[in-house]
Amino acid sequence: MPSPFLSSEEYDERAHQLYNEGEYEAALTTLREGLGLYPNAVELHVGVGYARLARDEYAWARRAFEEALLLDAEHEDALAGLGETLLKFGQTPQALKAFRRILDLGYGDDVELMLQVGRTCFREGLAAEAKEFFEVALRQAPDHAEAVAMVGYAEHRLGQDEAAVETLKRALQLDPALAEARIYLGNLLYDREEFEAALFHLEQTKPDEHWDELGIWRLLELKKSHCRMQDGDPAFRPWEARLEELAPPADSIDELLAELEARAVEREEVEARQQLELFGALLAGAAEAKQAPPEAHRVVARDGRRYEGSWEEIVAAMRDAAGGARPLDEFMQAEARRGFALTGHLIPTKDAESFLRASADAGLLRIVS
């Protein structure tokens, strides 16, 4: 039962606490109760929008933010949430209009809001726009280490590696404990083949500060090549344990099922080719009269996932499955670096076919057809 003794602000505060704890359904329940008593409370509509966003319920989130803006057209958090939702629908110009409306209203001095908008743009591949908002935040707080680091991330995404290295170094001068920036810098230096500098930064990190395997593999590799450490060294155990947490080994049953599935696919392909050969002569004339559709390929990843389509479509599907929205060339480059760290094989990224065939040669996936 809704309590009439709670104010709309108290409902908002309770929901915000539940949201921070990851209890999105409970947060929504609290917000609905509050809206039942205070239907014109803008903050409650905004809270519903962000809870819906966290659950990937984008249509409902958009509706909640739009309802909030009907009540207060200049509400900065509602504008930020609406912009994020619009990006999910691919409506980039409208999203950027909402974000820039926040600046027009004079909220550029809200550092956390500027960082929020910048992060949103960065996640959706809008590096130039992300950098713009990060720099707005920096003008208000020049010594904000996280904001400085984010400018560095955006510079790297924009291909400004020299500037990115210097920016990330400055962020670490402001806050040496900023692990994300140190890992990012270590990987960036590794890509530039500045291996000693990369080792300097990566070995100052802790295993649980890594949320990606790449930095750990590179640290272990550099320890072996520059510090003459050997496989099985006790110092590697915490790092190897973290690798298992980030990429747990596949269950033996899952591996067996994936292998059986791959074999079944291969048998289907053989039978299909045999049937096609029987009727090939009859269809040859018709095939010449029509333009052949793009050749479809099938790929099975190490985790058992199957991908089908053109080479470019397969790489795009792999990128989407990894939860990214970056351009295909950036995805292939990142995976090629990861593949090299895992296997020592150099994987070209000039085109999707070369990337996939080399990945198969390295044992990172299987090309069925």
Query: Among residues of the chain, what percentage have pLDDT more than 90?
Result: 59
Residue 80's pLDDT is 97
Residues with Cβ within 8 Å of residue 83, at least 6 apart in sequence: 95, 96, 98, 99, 117, 120
Residue 175's pLDDT is 96
Residue 273's pLDDT is 60
Sign of the four-CA dihedral 85, 87, 89, 94: positive
Amino acid at 326: R
Residue 268's pLDDT is 62
Is 45:35 a contact under the CB 8 Å cutoff?
Answer: yes
Which pLDDT tens digit goes with each residue over 56-80? 999 999 999 999 999 999 999 999 9
DSSP assignment of 336-364: HHHHHHHH------SSHHHHHHHHHHTTS
Give dist(CA 308, CA 262) in Å, integer.
13
Q: Looking at the predicted structure, is the pLDDT value of residue 19 above 50?
A: yes
Is 352:315 a contact under the CB 8 Å cutoff?
Answer: yes
Q: Which two tokens stand for residue 307?
A: 């991908």
Which pLDDT tens digit goes with each residue over 199-241? 999 999 999 999 888 899 999 999 998 888 888 899 999 999 9
Residue 289's pLDDT is 41
Q: Looking at the predicted structure, is the pLDDT value of residue 124 above 80?
A: yes
Burial (0-12, 13-18, 19+ Cβ within 10 Å), 338 = middle
Q: Which residue has the higher pLDDT, 318 or 288?
A: 318
Give dist(CA 108, CA 110) in Å, integer.
5
Which pLDDT tens digit goes with each residue over 79-99? 999 999 999 999 999 999 999
Which pLDDT tens digit goes with each residue over 24-65? 999 999 999 999 999 999 999 999 999 999 999 999 999 999
Q: Looking at the predicted structure, is the pLDDT value of residue 267 above 80?
A: no
Which pLDDT tens digit goes with each residue over 331-369? 888 787 777 767 767 788 888 988 898 888 878 888 888
Whose tokens are 């921070």? That residue is 20
Per-residue pLDDT, averaged over 302-306, amounts to 79
Q: For 192-251, where are the alpha helices, taking DSSP H only?
A: 195-202, 213-226, 237-246
Is 152:164 a contact under the CB 8 Å cutoff?
Answer: yes
Whose tokens are 């996936």? That residue is 365
Residue 331's pLDDT is 82
Whose tokens are 């409208």? That residue is 94
- List C-alpha distances in Å: 200 to 135, 182, 203, 205, 316: 28, 10, 6, 10, 35
Q: Which two tokens stand for residue 160?
A: 């400004």
- List C-alpha distances in Å: 189 to 44, 196, 215: 45, 9, 11
Is 319:334 a contact under the CB 8 Å cutoff?
Answer: no
Q: Looking at the predicted structure, is the pLDDT value of residue 281 above 50?
A: no
If residue 265 lies in a helix (H) or strand (E), which one and from where to where?
Answer: helix 252-289
Residue 174: pLDDT band by 50, 70, 90 thresholds? very high
Residue 186: pLDDT band by 50, 70, 90 thresholds? very high
Q: Looking at the predicted structure, is the pLDDT value of residue 274 above 80?
A: no
Q: Looking at the predicted structure, is the pLDDT value of residue 2 above 70?
A: no
Backbone angles phi, psi at 347, to 5 degrees: -115, 115
Which pLDDT tens digit goes with each residue over 3-17? 557 899 999 999 999
Looking at the DSSP bridge assignments, the partners of residue 308 are 298
Give the E-state strand segments of the chain in sequence order: 297-301, 306-309, 365-367
- List C-alpha distances in Å: 313 to 88, 105, 269, 291, 339: 20, 42, 20, 20, 20
Which pLDDT tens digit goes with each residue over 126-145? 999 999 999 999 999 999 99
pTM of the model: 0.66
Domains in the chain: ranges and CATH: 1-105 (1.25.40.10), 252-280+294-367 (no CATH)
Q: Which two tokens stand for residue 328?
A: 């295909």
- Where b means 16+ CB within 10 Å and e means fewer, 203-230 reads eebebeebeeebbbbbbbbbbeeeeeee
